[in-house]
Structure 1
Amino acid sequence: MSTTTDPAAPPPRLSVVVPVKNEAGNIETLVAEIGKACDKLKPFEVIYVDDGSTDATLPTLRALQAKTPWLRVVHHDRSGGQSGAVRSGVLRARAPVIATLDGDGQNDPSFIPILYAALDQGGPGVGLAQGQRIGRKGAWKQLQSRIANGVRGRILKDATRDTGCGLKLFRREVYLALPYFDALHRFMPALVTREGFGVVHRDVVDRPRFTGRSNYGMFDRLWVGILDLAGVWWLIRRRRPAPKAEEMPHSPKSP
């Protein structure tokens, strides 16, 4: 299920993709925050991807969609995971630049314009502006994250302190050039670099979720992502620079 868009409206300069699963209680507040944060980036669109929710997420989104012209809704008939939900949103996005954030309220949308500016200032050679969380709550979470990010950084050498942050802003064409697999969103700095694009970083403030509990597996647990880490390492090792391809025109006909 998705909305239709007005063909006469100008294309958006930014698409915000929000994957959600059973986040009915967090939708209205976060949508309002996103709208306020992106007001200076008009025209924009927000694409919520309902990843097979079993609560009131979909009817809540549909009701809000009826009075919010820039809100689009995509529905998965069953859960495909966070990376799959992000991909569904990006494939339907109309803007050349995509922002992503988690749907539980922990990512503050007020940082979207900061990431947009960082990407824009970097020029076409920069493919990703990656948020890096500060102020994370809970000593156990911090320890898990520090260990996982430390191991990942040593193996992939992606120069990123925190790849688990859902706040990212990237060029759509760069994302679509990446090899797709489950957990792609957690390794984007390394894979964007693999494609020859730069990555810039900005600190963002981590907040407690608005309501409810986490519905996606947490990458902060090292053992969840160890096989994915090995796979990304292999992809980077197998990368070869692509030759420049130029099609030759027909030779002029002889008289």
Structure 2
Amino acid sequence: MTTSPQLSVVVPVFNERDNVAPLIHEITAALRGRAPADGGDFEIVYVDDHSRDDTLAVLQQLKAEVPELRVVHHVTQSGQSTAIRNGVKAARGAWIATLDGDGQNDPADIPKLIAERAQAAPEVKLFAGWRVNRQDSGSKRWASKWANAIRSRMLRDDTPDTGCGIKLFEREAFLDLPHFNHMHRYLPALMQRAGWKTVSVPVHHRHRTAGVSKYNNLNRALVGISDLRGVAWLIKRGKVTRVEEV
């Protein structure tokens, strides 16, 4: 590509070698041939979080057949939030679509998010996927239900599902947010803290068909408690000041 694309699809991965190729082909199938404003002018930025399997080698091989693909590699494992941020920093598009690397998000929903953006007000900077029919285990759905209820009560972000990996947001607005580990789970609240509006959009959700989950209910809960308190503190201490040049 000689010019900057309008959309960058950022996908963080860690030990997902069997999910890489199918998901990349689904992304290209969903976006190639569309009008530029509808997502047809795009790049794919994969961020390998220092995988211990051959995920990186698979990505390097795919670059030969997928011209839209770019690959960023973490020299040390740094976590999903850092992978997303580094992918966004490397991205050239003004708008970013994110997907989880496990294949549970459906790339066919990206045009749906773009269509929502086309009819939204300019102050809406985040379109968050909402998994209305989750395909996870009963225990994971139960844990997420309670976590979402507690988060919503504390942060009042009016978002039914902040853990969904598929999102569409403005690159500049995202990079202006405070960065910390696990911040990707609180994007609606952080965007609203910055003075922007957010919209939740129903999307598909699929079973994981390869690889294993990198999280369990216990480690999610333990880190979630301190994260939630920290985000609540940020919101309480935050102040939005609009500026104009005169």
Which bracket does the TM-score occupy, shorter chain normalised?
A: over 0.9
Listed as ranges, the matches of 1:16-31 within 5 Å are: 16-31=9-24
Query: Contact 1:22/1:215 (CA < 8 Å) preserved in 2?
Result: no
Listed as ranges, the matches of 1:31-50 within 5 Å are: 31-39=24-32, 40=34, 41-50=39-48
Secondary structure, aligned partner of 1:68: coil
Following the alignment from structure 1 to structure 2, what is the Cα–Cα distance between the partners of residues 79 and 90?
17
RMSD value, Cα: 1.6
Of the candidates 87, 111, 114, which is equivalent to residue 112 of structure 2?
114
Q: What are structure 1's unaligned runs of at least 5 residues?
A: 1-5, 248-255
Q: What are structure 2's unaligned runs of at least 5 residues?
A: none
The one-character-per-residue Cα deviations of 1:182-204 (angstroms, maximum 9, x if unpaired) are 11110000010111111011111
Listed as ranges, the matches of 1:159-178 within 5 Å are: 159-178=158-177
| Counterpart position of 1:235 | 234
Report the alpha carbon displacement of residue 12 of structure 1 after superposing the two structures with TM: 0.6
State which structure, 1 or 2, has the greater radius of gyration over its C-alpha atoms: 1
| Counterpart position of 1:123 | 121
The one-character-per-residue Cα deviations of 1:158-186 (angstroms, maximum 9, x if unpaired) are 00011000000000011011001111110
Secondary structure, aligned partner of 1:15: strand
| Counterpart position of 1:185 | 184
- Letter of the 1:172 partner, please give it: R
Following the alignment from structure 2 to structure 1, what is the Cα–Cα distance between the partners of residues 101 and 215?
11
| Counterpart position of 1:155 | 154
Aligned identity (percent) is 49
Moved more, 210-219 or 64-73: 210-219
Report the alpha carbon displacement of residue 206 of structure 1 after superposing the two structures with TM: 1.2
Secondary structure, aligned partner of 2:67: coil
TM-score (norm 1): 0.90
How many residues align? The count is 240
- Letter of the 2:207 partner, please give it: P
Following the alignment from structure 1 to structure 2, what is the Cα–Cα distance between the partners of residues 243 and 209?
43
Query: Contact 1:148/1:220 (CA < 8 Å) preserved in 2?
Result: no
Following the alignment from structure 1 to structure 2, what is the Cα–Cα distance between the partners of residues 207 and 38?
19
Matched, 1:11 2:7: no
Moved more, 44-53 or 220-229: 220-229
Following the alignment from structure 1 to structure 2, what is the Cα–Cα distance between the partners of residues 243 and 171?
18
Query: Contact 2:191/2:197 (CA < 8 Å) preserved in 1?
Result: yes
Following the alignment from structure 1 to structure 2, what is the Cα–Cα distance between the partners of residues 134 and 211?
22
| Counterpart position of 2:97 | 99
Report the alpha carbon displacement of residue 78 of structure 1 after superposing the two structures with TM: 1.4
